């Protein structure tokens, strides 16, 4: 459910989005993974809210400023909350890398 939500939310960017690993040839792409899932709230011993902690990474050999802005806007609009972000540079591959951490609260059935 959460993977589909992320992929559908980021689709308007027209940039490849992949779960965990991208194996295409495009020089700019997005990967994501869920690094923690936790019960957030309980009612009658049933999990009422589930928190999904997600890391979204942008990889590019070019300036990704606009992409980063658009990712944040799209995910926030879809109900995600931004926790933090970091700029990195992968020396071995010469790729700029932006990492974001978000969380999303999903209501139980």
51: domain range? 2-107
pLDDT at 20: 94
pLDDT at 85: 95
- Tell me what the mean pLDDT of segment 100-105 comes to: 94
Instruction: Tell me the pTM.
Output: 0.87
Identify the CATH number of the domain in which residue 74 sits.
3.30.2000.30
Task: Indicate the number of domains in the chain.
Answer: 1
Task: Residue 48: name the closest of 60, 37, 40 by CA.
Answer: 40
Q: How confident is the model at residue 109 (pLDDT cuts 50, 70, 90)?
A: low
- pLDDT tens by residue, 47-102: 778 899 999 999 999 999 999 999 999 999 999 999 999 999 999 989 999 999 99
Task: Residue 88: name the closest of 64, 69, 66, 72 by CA.
Answer: 64
- pLDDT tens by residue, 17-46: 999 999 999 999 999 999 988 887 777 777
């Amino acid at each position: 459910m959460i993977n589909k939500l992320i992929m559908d939310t980021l689709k308007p960017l027209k940039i490849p989005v992949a779960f965990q690993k991208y194996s295409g040839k495009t020089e700019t792409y997005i990967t994501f993974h869920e690094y923690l899932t936790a019960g957030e709230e309980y009612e009658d011993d049933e999990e009422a809210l589930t928190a999904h902690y997600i890391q979204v990474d942008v990889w590019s050999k070019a300036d990704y400023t606009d992409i980063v802005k658009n990712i944040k806007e799209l995910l926030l609009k879809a109900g995600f909350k931004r926790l933090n972000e970091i700029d990195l540079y992968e020396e071995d591959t010469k790729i700029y890398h932006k990492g974001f951490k978000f969380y999303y609260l999903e209501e139980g059935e």
